[in-house]
Amino acid sequence: MRWTLPNTLTALRLLAAPGVAVMFLYFSRPLADWFALLLFISAAVTDWFDGYIARAWSLESKLGAMLDPIADKAMVVIALMVIVGYSSMSPWLVLPATFILFREVFVSGLREYLGDTAGTLKVTKLAKWKTTFQMVAIAVLFAQGVFEHYLAVSVEGLSPEQVSAILSREAADAHGLIWKEQGMLWTGYLGLTLLWMAAALTLITGWDYFVKAWPHLRDDR
């Protein structure tokens, strides 16, 4: 076993996955959203760097090949759990998150069952795009949490009538409510759009893996 730089980056990414949830245990919002966002982006960036360095420096290893998909799945699953847990449980968020979580469990189960023949379920380019869409969507949704809670802080002490007048541009916006609301809305729309795109790729790649595994699952072999 070689403990190389790519393996170290992958291990750090694996440790960062639960760290995203821990941020919300020890910090209040929106500070927790900021820390979770920065930690998630930093970890996601290492996903590209460790693979690039491993290939460029010929440092690919069995340990890295094993840890890399685990770290990716841990990051996505834990981050989605946190986002859904702190959301209003909108079906527009819960449904794609459910599809993604179901697929990850299903494919992991397939690989475990296939054992030595799990090599038939090699990661495809489409699956890599799926992971990219998931990472970007989650980062944008964490950013939405930042805008949402800065907006909530800014409206404290204001009456609903005052807030409505400011947002409708009938009163001066001394608290920056408009740009905070716009930031919350647009990151929300973008994040959900990307998450649904990731969910679609998730289901497509999950079906592709099932088709490839089917010959090994039939009883009449």
Mean pLDDT (whole number) for 98-123: 80
Provide the terminal-to-terminal Cα distance of the chain, rounded to the nearest Å. 36
Q: Write the single-letter amino acid at 185.
A: L
> What's the rounded Cα separation, in Å, for the pair 72 and 198?
14
Q: What is the pLDDT of residue 46?
A: 85
Smallest Cα–Cα separation from 145: which of 184, 176, 178, 93? 184
Mean pLDDT along residues 176-188: 92
More confident call, 64 vs 96: 96
- Output the pTM of the full model: 0.86
Instruction: Give the pLDDT mean for 117-127.
Output: 71
Taken in order of first residue, the domains within the chain and their CATH numbers are: 5-215 (1.20.120)
pLDDT category at 221 given cuts 50, 70, 90 is: low
Q: Are 17 and 78 in contact (CB under 8 A)?
A: yes
Going by pLDDT thresholds of 50, 70 and 90, the confidence category of residue 29 is confident
pLDDT at 79: 92
Statement: residue 1 has pLDDT above 60: no
Mean pLDDT calculated for residue range 35-50: 87
pLDDT of the residue at 121: 66
Please indicate whether residue 157 or residue 190 has the higher confidence score (pLDDT): 190
Q: Is the peptide bond before 30 cis (omega within 30 degrees of 0)?
A: yes
Q: Cα dist. 81→100, 144, 180 in Å?
A: 11, 16, 25
73-103 pLDDT, tens digit each? 899 999 999 999 888 788 999 999 999 999 9
Mean pLDDT rounded to a whole number for the chain: 86
